[in-house]
Amino acid sequence: MNKNCIFAISLCLITFLIIGCDESSTEENIDSARDSDSQSDSSDTGTNDSATSSGGGCIEEETATADSESEDTASDTTADSASENEGTDDTSATDTETFACPADMVASAMPNDTDAPVKFCIDKYEASRTDAAADSHGSDDSMAMSVPGVLPWYVNPMSQAALITFQNACIAAGKHLCTANEWESTCSGTAHTIYVFGNDFDPEICNTVATYCDDYCEENGISEEDCNTSISSCGYYCGDGSVGNECFQVTPTGEFSGCITESGAFDVNGNLWEIVASDNSAGFEVRGGAYNCANPATRLQCTYAATWNELNAGFRCCK
């Protein structure tokens, strides 16, 4: 083999080796680049996963911000709703809270066709004089009192002068003479009963002409058959039936614990007739029945008004 052939073969081998190395290097570079891209993708994916879990990425951060704003809005809405509910609760509480009255009065209400019932205060007890006691009606007409355990204030007969005295006595106490509507609403209550104690008459609950008949008979040894308790006005002729054998009496205020209205006022039925202000020609009405009046089943009714003035007339105040 001559030198030219050897040189040619050598040159070919060198060229082959050079080309082979370049291709290997190129493939390695491509593989390396692919590995690098793969790592980069893996790294990006990891970053995105991290961003998703932490809210640190742009899209996720915007979503998180939107969620946060939504939560804030919801929080504000909840707060506003709570505030509105508090306002509603306050209004409801105002509607249902007990109507405040002085200690000697109780809360009552009159129906109103166009609005809620009109609330007012009414004396717990029939009016008494400032110097009244359990055994005395007193004599001081300057101011009406509402206290238990004293004899109530009354006049007989009823007159215009007495009406003025009663009105002034209530005014002196910071009140007014109860009106017919105030009195009747208190008497019949929300159930609109016939009497303060319901719809069935019972002579034992309030002080009436028939209340003490059986007591008189028992105390005097008179048999039940001879006691005349079946007569509605038995108090006029207790026991033996003779006229003038009376067993009825006016009693101290609040003595009949069961004779109480739904609102807590005592002796609205019985004990004394009560004068109430009215827009009629006399300026007053006579209500409630009395301890010495015949036919108590009728005259104690909340709607009944006496038409005569020769009676034991008391009163009570409202505000």
pLDDT digits (tens, 9 = 90+) for 150-160: 999 999 999 99
Res 172 pLDDT > 60 = yes
pLDDT band at 309 (very low <50, low <70, confident <90, very high): very high
Half-sphere exposure at residue 264, Cβ-oriented, CA atoms within 13 angstroms: 13
Higher-pLDDT residue of 13, 70: 13
Closest CA to 135 of 145, 125, 147, 150: 150
Higher-pLDDT residue of 22, 319: 319
pLDDT digits (tens, 9 = 90+) for 64-85: 333 333 344 433 443 443 333 3
Lowest mean pLDDT among 47-51, 111-115, 278-282: 47-51
Closest CA to 117 of 176, 195, 188, 198: 188
Domain 100-211+248-319: give its CATH code: 3.90.1580.10
Q: What is the rounded distance in angstroms from the CA atom of residue 136 to the CA atom of residue 150?
A: 7
DSSP string covering 200-242: S--TTTS--TTTTHHHHHHHTT--GGGS-TTSTTGGGGTTT--
Domain ranges of the chain: 3-96, 100-211+248-319
Residues 6+ apart with CB under 8 A from 158: 275, 284, 286, 309, 311, 313
Q: What is the rounded distance in angstroms from the CA atom of residue 9 to the CA atom of residue 12?
A: 5
Q: What does pLDDT average to over the chain? A: 77
pLDDT band at 62 (very low <50, low <70, confident <90, very high): very low
Backbone angles phi, psi at 176, to 5 degrees: -140, 160
User: Is the N-terminal amide bond of 102 cis, ω within 30° of 0?
Assistant: no
